[in-house]
């Protein structure tokens, strides 16, 4: 048992439901007790969804405990099949129902016979994986199911598109700024002359999954969801994928160069294929060559040279490169920041702050414990220390200890920041409704770099203005001056000492307070007066 007040990633079934309800015309049925369909509320509220969330519960109640679900699950599946006529129904166990150990696969098999929809059982262990891992798995499961089905029916569309094209995998509901990122990625690919073949799961249709192989490559913008599906497609259909997150100027360029490499490779293969047509390739490539021949004459490597585009965008379209040269950003040099979030966003943000803005990242952390190694490798050299935890009190204590000038984290860090009077920019889920803005706010691509620059700059200036106000006595004096979450201080501050402490600008006040208390502790002083403060200052030699 674990005493827990808050968690960063939700339970596994939430991940499955997010994938299911992102696809068009897919219905999820939860095998769950009353009240577990809270997902519908979140989706309806946070995403301000206009349509009914395609998730219903097959309620587990006292009768089910006594006699088993029996016909109930099958009936609920076939009923939903008739009511909504979905393409696919996914049966989702929850942590509660998975301990019942009913043979849900059997229910699914029986229901599949009676319904027109396809029926799948989400293959997820509720006690071992979290929301993000489950989403990754479920997406792979759905993709695999439909690729295999198409193979069986012999209608897998393996002929590559004439122009270069990509599938974007991993955009889905309740994702942090996913809708905006998706638009930005489409624009980016369009600029590069790459067509978007399919976007899954958001807005995608499962009946279109058989068209996935038409794309030249797969594009996985987020580390957390989509990699499993991409790996499967690579193994099964020889599709290459790009998994560098195009977040920040540098990484966007890296990502584009990776795409360039893949496209060049494919067209090189293509050319050699033309020269030596007897050479045996697998089916996919063969088909692909047929098409490519038609248009290959004008197609040379030079059309896949994106360097000029990268240069143009970095220097003039994105303002971020210019921003990091400007006086504003100069003033941020060496300021301390802390980054915490999911692996993708925390890693990218750490690199942006350290590499592109010259900010000192004192600590970078993630709650994606399952991906800790990747995260460490990514942020190595860009931060002083790495924190891998899903315990928010640890994060809070770390922030209290380091006292950064700004925090970039989740909603939890925003609230910690509020308590400690440190500004916070939200860069990652878990999120509140204000993180589903109506306006265009991508984090990826070149427009994303502008948004991030604003976010970073606003967080820091807010903090600076705050301090300036305090220095010039603009605010009411705040009585609470404790800057740590867990206070065990046994000192009493005399009124004159306190008054003096309050005169000290906020951003160094915590440090002075701590140093003074340390001095007092060492010298056995219990009441801290102005004299003690100055004695401490002198002792510290500052």
In the annotated binding site for [4Fe-4S] cluster, the residues are 36
85 counts as binding another protein under rule CB under 8 A: no
By CB under 8 A, name the one of 19, 20, 26, 36 that touches another protein.
36
Tokens of 481: 């001056």
Q: State in angstroms the smallest separation of the CB of 248 from another protein.
A: 30
Q: State in angstroms the smallest separation of the CB of 197 from another protein.
A: 25
Site string for another protein, 394-433 (x = CB under 8 A): ------------------x--x----------------x-
Q: State in angstroms the smallest separation of the CB of 21 from another protein.
A: 12
70 counts as binding another protein under rule CB under 8 A: no
13 counts as binding another protein under rule CB under 8 A: yes
Residues 6+ apart with CB under 8 A from 519: 525, 532, 535, 536, 539, 540
Q: Is 95 exposed, middle or buried (0-12, 13-18, 19+ CB in 10 A)?
A: middle
Furthest CA-CA distance within the chain: 92
487 counts as binding another protein under rule CB under 8 A: no
When the beta carbons of 34 and 327 are compared against another protein, the nearer one is 34
Q: Which residues are annotated as a binding site?
A: 36, 463-464
3 counts as binding another protein under rule CB under 8 A: yes
By CB under 8 A, name the one of 16, 21, 78, 94 that touches another protein.
94
440 counts as binding another protein under rule CB under 8 A: no
Q: Is 140 exposed, middle or buried (0-12, 13-18, 19+ CB in 10 A)?
A: buried
Which residues form the catalytic set? Answer: 328
d(CA 322, CA 62): 64
d(CA 294, CA 309): 27
Tokens of 491: 């000192």
User: Of the listed pieces 124-132, 236-244, 469-477, 513-521, which binds another protein according to CB under 8 A?
Assistant: 124-132
322 counts as binding another protein under rule CB under 8 A: no
By CB under 8 A, name the one of 21, 22, 76, 161 that touches another protein.
76
d(CA 121, CA 78): 14
| Cross-strand pairs, 360 | 336
Q: What is the CA radius of gyration of the chain?
A: 27
d(CA 422, CA 240): 43
48 counts as binding another protein under rule CB under 8 A: yes
User: Of the listed pieces 6-14, 164-172, 211-219, 475-483, which binds another protein according to CB under 8 A?
Assistant: 6-14
Tokens of 10: 């939700």
- The number of beta carbons lying within 10 Å of the beta carbon of residue 447 is 21
**In the block, residue with structure tokens 């006690």:** 127
Q: State in angstroms the smallest separation of the CB of 451 from another protein.
A: 25
Give the binding site for another protein (CB under 8 A).
1-7, 10-11, 13-14, 32-38, 40-42, 44-45, 48-53, 56-62, 65, 76, 83, 94-96, 99-100, 126-128, 130, 412, 415, 432
């Amino acid at each position: 048992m674990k005493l827990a007040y808050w968690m960063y990633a939700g339970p596994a079934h939430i991940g499955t439901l997010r994938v299911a309800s992102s696809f068009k015309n897919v219905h999820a049925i939860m095998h769950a007790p009353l009240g577990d369909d809270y997902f519908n509320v979140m989706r309806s509220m946070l995403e301000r969804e206009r349509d009914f969330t395609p998730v219903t519960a097959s309620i587990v109640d006292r009768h089910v405990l006594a006699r088993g679900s029996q016909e109930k699950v099958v009936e609920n599946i076939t009923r939903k099949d008739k009511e909504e006529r979905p393409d696919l129904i996914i049966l989702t166990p929850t942590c509660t129902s998975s301990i019942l150990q009913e043979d849900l696969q059997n229910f699914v098999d029986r229901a599949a016979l009676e319904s027109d929809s396809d029926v799948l059982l989400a293959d997820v262990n509720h006690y071992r994986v979290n929301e993000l891992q489950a989403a990754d798995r479920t997406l792979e499961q759905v993709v695999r199911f439909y690729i295999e089905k198409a193979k069986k029916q012999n209608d897998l569309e393996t002929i590559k598109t004439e122009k270069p094209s990509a599938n974007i995998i991993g955009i889905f509901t309740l994702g942090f700024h996913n809708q905006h990122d998706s638009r930005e990625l489409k624009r980016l690919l369009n600029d590069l002359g790459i067509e978007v073949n399919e976007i899954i799961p958001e807005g995608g249709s499962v009946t279109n999954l058989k068209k996935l192989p038409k794309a030249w490559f797969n594009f996985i913008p987020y580390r957390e969801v989509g990699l499993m599906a991409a790996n499967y497609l690579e193994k099964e259909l020889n599709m290459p994928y790009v998994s560098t997150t195009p977040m920040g100027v540098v990484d966007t360029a890296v990502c584009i160069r990776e795409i360039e490499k893949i496209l060049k490779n494919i067209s090189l293969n293509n050319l050699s294929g033309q020269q030596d047509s007897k050479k045996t390739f697998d089916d996919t490539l063969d088909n692909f060559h047929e098409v490519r021949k038609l248009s290959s004459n004008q197609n040379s490597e030079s059309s896949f040279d994106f360097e000029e585009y990268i240069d143009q965008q970095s220097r003039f379209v994105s303002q971020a490169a210019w921003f990091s040269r400007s006086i504003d950003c100069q003033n941020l040099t060496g300021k301390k920041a802390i980054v915490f979030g999911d692996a993708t966003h925390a890693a990218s943000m750490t690199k942006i702050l350290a590499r592109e803005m010259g900010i000192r990242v004192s600590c970078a952390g993630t709650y994606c414990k399952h991906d800790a190694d990747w995260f460490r490798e990514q942020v190595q050299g860009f931060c002083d220390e790495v924190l891998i935890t899903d315990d928010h009190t640890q994060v809070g204590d770390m922030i209290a200890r380091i006292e950064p000038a700004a925090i970039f984290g989740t909603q939890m860090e925003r609230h910690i920041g509020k308590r400690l009077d440190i500004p916070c920019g939200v860069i990652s889920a878990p999120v509140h409704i204000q993180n589903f803005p109506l306006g265009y706010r991508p984090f990826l691509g070149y427009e994303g770099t502008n948004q991030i620059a604003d976010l970073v700059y606003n967080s820091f200036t807010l903090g600076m203005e705050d301090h300036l106000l305090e220095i010039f006595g603009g605010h009411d004096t705040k009585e609470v001056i404790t800057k740590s979450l867990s206070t065990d201080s046994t000192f009493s501050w005399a009124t004159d000492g306190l008054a003096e402490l309050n005169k000290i600008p906020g951003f160094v006040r915590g440090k002075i307070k701590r140093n003074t208390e340390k001095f007092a502790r060492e010298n056995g002083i219990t009441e801290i007066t102005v004299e003690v403060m100055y004695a401490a200052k002198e002792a510290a030699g500052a």
